Each structure stands twice: as C-alpha cells, then as structure tokens.
Chains A and B, each alone.
Chain A
Amino acid sequence: MDFGRISRRHLLQGSAALTLGSALGARSALAADTTIGFIYVGSRDDYGYNQAHAQGAAALKKIPGLKIVEEEKVAETDAVEKTMESMINLDGATLLFPTSFGYYNPHMIKMANKFPKLRFEHCGGLWSEKDPKNAGSYFGYIDEAQYISGIVAGYTSKTGKLGFVAAKPIPQVLRNINAFTLGAKLANPKATTQVIFTGDWSMPVKEAEATNSLIDQGVDVLTCHVDGPKTMVENAARRGAMVCGYHVNQSPLAPKAYLTGAEWNWEALYPKFVKMIAAGESIPNFYRGGLKEEIVKVSPYGEAVSAEARKHADDVKAKLTAGDYTIFKGPIMDNKGKAVIAAGTDRGQKDPELEKMDYLVEGVIGATS
C-alpha cells in the first residue's frame, strides 16, 4: 500500500478509529505518515515470544493511517542500534518497539538520548528514574495466566505429576513455575511440578529430551517457559500427554492435547499505546499489568478440560481480572522447607520482592542451581 498517496477519506477513517473523530481538522499527533517500527530478536512466526509481539504489530496494521515496519532476527548487540537508526532515518519511524529484553541497555537508551523527540517502548520492565523520559518499558504479569493454567493442569492430571520445561532459573521463569504449581495445588493439593532447565532459550533437541524424560517419569500435563514452545507441545502430544501453552495459543499444533495456556495480549496493549499518543497523553514510562489490564490472557479451554476445572479456573480468573486476588499469599514454603513468604504477608503483583524471586515453592521438584 502506498502511504504517500493515502486519501483524505482514509485519513479521516483513521482518525475516527483512533477516537479522534471529534477533533476534526485539528492537527493530530498521528498523521497518516506515522510509522511504527518493531524489532524482534527471533523469527516472528515462532509460535512463541516473537510471534506474540508480531500479533500485536498486526493489530496496529489494521488501524488505517499507520505504517508498520518490522525487522526480525536482530541480535542484542549494536546491530539493534543500526536497525533503530535505519528505521528512524530511512522509514521515518517515530515510535519504536524493540521487543527483546537485551535491547534495553545500552542500545535503546543510547537511541532515546540521540533522538529525544521520538518515543521508544521496550518490553521487559526495566525503566528507572535515571533513564530518558522518552523511553518506556512495559511488561505483563503472565504468572497470573500461568496460575490459571496450573488450576486446569491440576484438575486434568491423573497422576498428579506436572512437568515444566524451563530455559534458565531467572526470577521471571521461577515466578511462572511457582504460580503454575500454586495454581495446580488449588485443584489437587498433592500435585507436584517437576522442572527441567535446558540452559538456554532455544534448544529444540534438549527440550524434546526434557519432554520425553518428564513423561517417562509419569508426568501427564506439561507446560514450558522457553522461546519456542512448539517442540515441547508437539513432542508431548505425540506421547499422549496434555499441554498448557505459553506466549501464544499453540492449540493448532495439538488440538486434542491443548488444555489452555498463558498468552501475551500485545494486540490489546499496542493499540492502547497508539491511542494514548493520538490523544496527546504520554505513555507511562513504566507500564505493567496482568489480566486486569489486558496485558496477558488465557487461551480458550481445550475439549479435555472438565466442567469442574473450567468453573474453578473461570472463578479465579474473574477475581484476578477484578484485581482482588493475591497469588503469592503467605504462608508459602520453598521446596527446601524454608518459609519464603510469612503467614499474613500478601505479596501483591506489583510487590518488588517478587521480582527478586530465587526459590521454588513447595511442590516443585527441581533446584535453581
């Protein structure tokens, strides 16, 4: 589509879509030539992290008057700076989404200082007061969705043994494992989660081996936190185990085995950002949220999920969406028998203590080192 020759009609439609209809004729912050750049660390159809962001970008493409430029497989080195500069200088991008964790410091910070009039939005939740004001960092509490997956997994598992294929023992991953396990224990107090760390974000052969080993141990519901869940989902389904997805909806890969999954909801968040800019508001530099803020979502339940599980999961989901439910509510013991959250202490989603998580809760079989 030639954006240079965009008609006035398109422009008006675009404005209306951006709730700018009332300000007819007024100069909008988003003109027809607004270009938004998306940068991905991997390939954007990986059934994983990058695809989730690409779906968000696709949601923006539907809004008339926006031009989206994308580049995939950009390394977390100064390569990303070059990509950002070329998007700015050649494509005229005014809003950039470098989506990978490692793009932030120093690369995105450097660019934000160099182009103070442009807006940079990073996925990862790293922004702090000393960073440039035109930079922002957003992230979702996806452990809320993992908690729901855990409930469904706890009800569905016949052996009470759940499996988790994880990349590295960093706080975010541990938080997902713990939330999944706590959810499963709501359904079945005896449920355990066996975790296997593969050591890196994308190791297909190791992930397949981990999946097979878990199933050999009697695990019958698996989930994961790796960049591309495709390997785990396909191999588990082939062995007759059930799966809960991650990042995006993987049910097309294993329609019978797919129970539910923890998904990013960038296709809801990105248009919100664009609306904020169009309305002349500034995007909060530090933007976080979970189910309530529509930053994460839960996949539709698969056919193998029982009515009881659906009811319980929907109930908790409704409470989380309303914002009056705490997942990490004391007393919580770690799997070495130490109290990590004391009785009476509620660690709400935004509690910074949770960002430092370095333990696995009781019921998880595995170690962080």
Chain B
Amino acid sequence: MADGTIGLWTVPLAVFGGAIRVSTPFLFVSLGECITERSGRINLGLEGTLVMGAMSAYGVSYLTGSPWLGVLAAGVTGSLLGALHAGICSLPRVNDIAVGIALMLFGTGLAFYLGKPLIEPTAPRLPAIDFGWWSDIAQLRAALRINVLFLIGVVLAPVLYWAFRTTRWGLLIRTAGESSDAARAMGYSVLAIRLKATMVGGFLAGIGGSFLSLFYPGSWNEGLSSGQGITAVALVIFARWDPMLCLWASLAFGGAAALGPALQSVGITSGYYLFNAAPYILTLAIMIITCSPKRTLTGAPAELSITR
C-alpha cells in the first residue's frame, strides 16, 4: 500500500464503487416503473425516457450553466413522455406494452435527433459530495465521491415502501393496480390515477437519465444508455414490485457491471466476456432460484396486462 496501490483490494472496492456509480439510473428508473406498474400499467418506454432525460438534462445544463435546472428539465421531459403514454393508453383497447415499445423508439430517436449538436460541447456537471475525507487512500476517496442523486434515490426507496403501505395515495395506486373495479366503486377515476402514476414514473426515469449525462459517465453521446432503461424495467419484475428490493437489485446490478473491468485491471484476464455478462447471468440465476411452477409471481399487481 505504501506505493499508493491497493492490489487485489481493487476488486471489492470497484464493485462497491461501481454499485454506487452505476446503480443510480437503474434505481430511479426501477422506482419510477414500480409506481407505474403498481397502478396497473406497464410503461416499457422508460428506455426512451431515460435517453430523453439524459439529452435534455445535458442540453439545459449546457445552455443555462446550471446542472440542477438540467435535472429538473429531465424530470419534466420524463413526465411529459409519461403523460403521452398514459394518454394513449386511456383510449379504449390500446395495449400498454405496444405503446411502450413505440415510445421507447420515439424517445431514443427524438433524443438522438435533438441531441446532435450536444455531442461536442461540455456541459457543467452535477457536484459530488466527498464522503471519503477521512481516508488517506486515494482509491477509496474516489469511490466515496457520491452524487446527491444517489442519496435521494436511496432515501426514496424506503419512503415509497412506506407510502405504498400507509398513505392514502399509496393505497389508491395499489387499488387501481389490484382491482380497477374496486377503485371505480369507491368513486375514483382509474385513468386519472394511472396518468399521475405514469407521469411520476416518467419524472423519476428522466432524472435517472440526467445522472447518466451529468454525472457518470458524464457526457451526452448516443451510446450512453445502451439498454439500461430496459434492464431497469425488467429489474422491477425481478424485485417483485417492492421499492426496497428495487434498491438492492439496482446496487447488485451496478456492482456486477463494475466486476468485468475490475478483474481485468488486477490481471484476471481470462474469460472477460463472461465477467462482462455478469449482470445478466445474475438476473438469470435469481430468476431461476426464485421462480416456482406452483404459483404466479408474488407481488404482481393483478391489473397488469401480463398477469391478467
């Protein structure tokens, strides 16, 4: 350690650091999707929302010089896309999954089109909070430079968990998701609830996108998301529609994504394609372990088009 290197400790540290750095977009998209799906609708378009969020955050941050305005713009863009999804799905006999796929293509395409002039300039980034001030190890300090958005996400997960259980709003969303008839009988408009839930979901997914372009990797380009939005939507099913499980699953995905490069950096170089595939192998493994032929997915909202 005297020469400033930490040898094999790089691997756990990179997985830990990666869990913090890479997980935030997963976390925001999956929490957003969790809200939407709990209200009984699937929004597959969040990949498009994520990319649109990343682009608009970068653009607004570049034009105004304030990254926080960029985050807000990403959220607003996301909720507009959410409103579009919910609006189209409010029409009779519209399939939410098909609309989601259309919006995914629309969102990414629009972001690439509008984002063309943004590839070159450098926008102000979100600041990081230095939680590693107590340590002399440069690597640990780097891993502990944490962005506020990550912390907001971590706090949001238990808040959502609590809100779904105990607040009036949580109960309404769950009612709309479990039995739209019950919600209607109580005098609530299911479509209005789902519209709001999808907009909030889009807002969070857009913020997840702003993290990609404004913090890590930290610039706008067209390969930025490379499917993270899709992964995060799948992660909700994997997390059984539970916000706390979404948090753990996002952290596991982030850590797994850091594993491949970290192992190569300490000289474990054989089979790196396999290590790069770690997040997907992890998903498969957990899916296989937790599935059962005897019951349907536990926790799945009854009104979802995939379970109905």
Contact = CB atoms under 8 A, between A and B. Distances in A.
Interface in A316-369: 365-367, 369
B305 to A, nearest CB: 31
Interface of B: 3-6, 10, 13-14, 17-18, 21-22, 112, 116-117, 119-120, 122, 139, 142, 216-219, 221-224, 226, 228, 257-258, 260-262, 264-267, 269-270, 272-273, 276
List the 6 shortest-distance A-B pairs measured between CB atoms, nearest first.
A367-B269, A213-B265, A202-B223, A208-B217, A210-B261, A218-B5
Contacts of A365: 267, 269
Interface residues of A, number: 41
A205 B265 CA distance: 16
B10 A217 contact: yes
Given A47-B120, A159-B3, A206-B261, 14 more contacts: A43-B222, A45-B120, A73-B222, A159-B4, A198-B261, A199-B272, A203-B223, A205-B226, A209-B18, A209-B22, A212-B261, A217-B10, A218-B3, A234-B219
A230 B221 contact: yes
A197 B120 contact: no
6 contacts: A43-B119, A43-B221, A213-B261, A217-B10, A234-B217, A365-B267
A206 B260 contact: yes
Interface of A: 42-43, 45-47, 73, 159, 194-199, 202-210, 212-218, 228, 230-231, 234-235, 238-239, 253, 365-367, 369
Contacts of A45: 116-117, 119-120
A74 to B, nearest CB: 13
Nearest to A220: B4
Contacts of A47: 119-120
B173 to A, nearest CB: 32
B221 A46 contact: yes
Given A199-B272, A216-B6, A218-B3, A205 B116 contact: no
Contacts of B272: 197, 199
Given A43-B119, A209-B257, A367-B270, A218 B4 contact: yes
A209 B267 contact: no
A367 B223 CA distance: 26
B90 to A, nearest CB: 34
B265 A196 contact: yes
B274 to A, nearest CB: 10
Nearest to A219: B265
A205, A215, A228, A239: which has the most chain B beta carbons within 10 Å?
A205
A199 B269 CA distance: 12
A50 to B, nearest CB: 10
A205 B262 contact: no
A344 to B, nearest CB: 31
B264 A212 contact: no
Contact of B142 (A42, A199, A212): A212
B223 A204 contact: yes
A369 B273 CA distance: 9
A214 B13 CA distance: 12
B132 to A, nearest CB: 13
A213 B10 contact: yes
